[in-house]
A and B are shown apart, each in its own frame.
Chain A
Amino acid sequence: MRSGIKNCMAALLLSAAALAVPALAQTQDAWPLSPALEKDLAARASDVTEVTLGKNMLAFASKFMNGKDKDNAAVQQLIQGLDGIYVREYDFDKDGQYSMEQIEQLRKAFETPEWQPIVRERERKSGETTDVLMKMVNGESHGIFILDAEPRELTLVLILGPIRMEDLSKLGGIGGLGGALGNVEGIAPKGKKGGGQ
């Protein structure tokens, strides 16, 4: 009898783990910052902004929007379709608080056929680099990754789900995103619609 209960418990635990692992892996696959690197950057930075909104939280947050208003309804619809919004913004007191190897590591995480670079900017004088990549699935955009590295500022934005470049400005109202997206909004190529939507 006891061993039966034990077996049931073990089966339940295994099922729960089996369900939880893919859900976790989905985000962790896309999120390029390892916990160690994230901790290291946060420890060196003078100001840190982190926004972590998974699908469930976004769905819930969208309910707070007034769907009767035309503009709000469009944002609500956009947010409801997204799988996640992740933002990290680090401000540093001095130069050299992160290495170019670390930036390369971040870029390499997106060197897959799905992620296509749409902006690649390197300013030799200021040392600023900007990368904007779009996740394309069957000709439609299913994510945007923005990496903006300045000598004293590092910004990472990852938006998963159906989104276009011009939608970025609509998300500015979400806490913390306004500032982070403001940095990169101007760099989007004007003609790029980001997929067949």
Chain B
Amino acid sequence: MTSMRWYLLIPACVLLLLVPVVVLAGGDGGFDGVVSAIETRYNAHATRIPLMGLMSVVSGTATHGGMGNLHVAEFDNFTAQVDGNELDRMVEQKLGDGWERVIRETSRKGGEQTLILMRPEGARMGLFVLDLDGSELDVVQVSVDPDHLQDSIGKYSHHDHDSSD
């Protein structure tokens, strides 16, 4: 009888461990949550760029912290019909609080959708961009520090002026 209880206890434990994993995977928020939701809703597969984390670190260093937390996902051959309102709702829900939609362009016929959301992150600004153009859907999230980024851009524009002189 005692051994029978053990047999029941093991699958019960496995189930208990699985439930949070499944729940968390489905209810994941932020950038990954948006990408997962798009994959599920439109039955599409996102191409994840390898070594994105490393690229994010490199871009952060190159811009002296002007840019960081870079996320990119690309959907090729995205042929699903997209309802702009539904997509907008889904993105806002998955991204969570603090994000404000600043630009939205939606075209019913041409399969074009653009969403730009911003979120203040202290001295930085979080930017989320979703762009569907024909059969290509790109999703990008980045955190920028305008002051540092401006300095980095300024450096290159000085080089430009110098070289043109």
Q: How many B residues touch the partner, as a band?
A: 20 to 34
Q: Is the CB of B104 within 8 A of A48?
A: yes
Binds B, one of A39-47, A136-144, A148-156, A157-165: A39-47
Chain B residue contacts of A56, Cβ below 8 A: 120
Binds B, one of A11-19, A61-69, A99-107, A114-122: A61-69
A81 within 8 A of B: no
Pick from A46, A54, A176: contact of B103, CB below 8 A. Answer: A176
Known pairs A60-B146, A63-B146; A51 contacts B118 (CB<8 A): no
Chain B residue contacts of A50, Cβ below 8 A: 101, 103-105
Q: Is the CB of A54 within 8 A of B100?
A: yes
Q: Which residue of B lies closest to A91 (CB)?
A: B107
Distance of A60 Cα from B105 Cα, bound (Å): 21
CB contacts between A and B, total, < 8 Å: 59
Q: Is the CB of A48 within 8 A of B84?
A: yes
Q: Is the CB of B125 within 8 A of A60?
A: yes
Known pairs A56-B120, A60-B146, A63-B146; A48 contacts B105 (CB<8 A): yes
Majority SS of interface residues in chain A? mixed
Pick from B85, B105, B107: contact of A176, CB below 8 A. Answer: B105
Known pairs A43-B85, A47-B108; A66 contacts B103 (CB<8 A): no
A52 within 8 A of B: yes
Distance of A196 Cα from B154 Cα, bound (Å): 35
> For residues 37 through 54 of chain B, which have their beta carbon under 8 Å from a beta carbon of chain A?
none
A53 within 8 A of B: yes
Q: Which residue of B lies closest to A65 (CB)?
A: B150
Minimum Cβ distance to chain B for residue A80 (Å): 13
Chain B residue contacts of A52, Cβ below 8 A: 100-103
A30 within 8 A of B: no
B12 within 8 A of A: no
Contact mask for chain B residues 73-85; partner A; CB cutoff 8 A; 1 contact, 0 none: 0000000000011
Chain B residue contacts of A46, Cβ below 8 A: 107-109
Which A-B residue pairs are the 9 nearest by beta carbons? A63-B146, A50-B104, A47-B107, A46-B108, A48-B106, A175-B103, A49-B105, A60-B125, A64-B146
